Structure 1
Amino acid sequence: MFYRTTYVSPIGKIKLLADRTSLLFAYFEGQAYFEEKSAWFTSRLEENAVLKGAISWLDSYFKGHNPAMDDLNLSAQGTDFQTRVWKELLTIPYGETRTYGQLASLCDCPSAQAVGAAIGKNPLLIFVPCHRVLSSTRKLTGYSGGLEKKAWLLDHELERE
């Protein structure tokens, strides 16, 4: 059984999908790679404990806090390489950034582009902070939720430090 809800954030609606134990997807409405997820269409429009925890986390985040991930069970499904990259994203501290090249080195991958492709398929935006990754010149590039949202999220974190 899958459960879904929509969270209204200051930068747009975020679709959340969970099963009984884990948060599976967090996507901005209309974002690439989301609408193809068939579980969304076979889910119940109902908030379970997992979704309530995710909403509480998002409320805290958007109020300017750095909420702990302790009570969230994230379950990002992807290839072994993608999940390795996504786990590395979780190590980037709130208010800090890394480059695609730095992440490639940490993942023992010779290609920053491959890392970028894996990041682009991150199914748990904001929770798995791919918005904290910049180009080698420290410019904003590639964010499946949109560059304006990436800029907002980074500004939000930096002004709250």
Structure 2
Amino acid sequence: MFYHTTYPSPLGNMTLLADDESLLAAYFEGQTYFEDKFSGLNSRAEENAVLSQSILWLEAYFAGKNPDLALLSLSGQGTDFQKRIWNQLLTIPAGETTSYGQLAKICQCKSAQAVGAAIGKNPLLIFVPCHRVLSSTGELTGYSAGLERKSWLLEHEKKM
């Protein structure tokens, strides 16, 4: 069984999707790739324990705290390569950034573009912090929920 709810974040409504064990997706309404991907999924519009915990985490995050992700079970669906990149994103501390090229080196991938493509398919925005990845020159690039949101999240995290 799948469950979904809408979370009214300061950056717009987010859809959260979970099963009985894990958070599967967190995306902004109208976000590239995700709304269509999950629209046909049979899910109940109600909170379960996973969604309740995820909402508490988001509330703490948007309140300027740095909540512990270890309290949540995350299970974004993707290829082995995508999951390897997403797991590396979890190592970037709040308030810090890295580049696509640096991630490619760490993950032993020859292509920063391939890393960027994997990051673009991250189904767990904010929880898996793909917004902390910048171009090699430090510019904001490639955020499926929009660069204005990416900028806001980075500024927000500087205060944590």
* Short-chain TM bin: over 0.9
TM-score by length of 1: 0.97
- Quote the Cα distance in structure 2 between the aligned partners of 1:132 and 1:105: 16
The answer to whether the 8 A contact 1:24-1:123 is kept is yes
- Quote the Cα distance in structure 1 between the aligned partners of 2:81 and 2:49: 30
- Quote the Cα distance in structure 2 between the aligned partners of 1:15 and 1:38: 10
SS in 1 for 2:69: coil
* Unmatched tracts of structure 2, length 5 or more: none
> Structure 1 residues 101 and 75 mapped into 2: Cα distance closer, same or farther (>3 Å)?
same
Q: In structure 2, what residue type is equivalent to 1:55?
A: I
Which residue in 2 is equivalent to 1:130?
A: 130
> Structure 1 residues 151 and 40 mapped into 2: Cα distance closer, same or farther (>3 Å)?
farther
C-alpha distance after superposition, 1:93-132 (max 9, x if no partner): 0110000000000110010000000000000000000000
**Shift of residue 71 of structure 1?**
1.4
Q: In structure 1, what residue type is equivalent to 2:98?
A: R
Q: In structure 2, what residue type is equivalent to 1:116?
A: G
> Structure 1 residues 150 and 52 mapped into 2: Cα distance closer, same or farther (>3 Å)?
same
| Residue 117, structure 1, aligned to residue 111, structure 2 | no
**Shift of residue 33 of structure 1?**
1.1
Which residue in 2 is equivalent to 1:83?
A: 83
> Structure 1 residues 88 and 33 mapped into 2: Cα distance closer, same or farther (>3 Å)?
same
TM-score by length of 2: 0.97
The answer to whether the 8 A contact 1:2-1:39 is kept is no
Runs of 4 or more above 4 Å deviation: none
- Quote the Cα distance in structure 2 between the aligned partners of 1:90 and 1:5: 24
- Quote the Cα distance in structure 2 between the aligned partners of 1:76 and 1:110: 24
- Quote the Cα distance in structure 1 between the aligned partners of 2:73 and 2:149: 24
| Percent of residue pairs bearing the same amino acid type | 68
SS in 2 for 1:36: helix
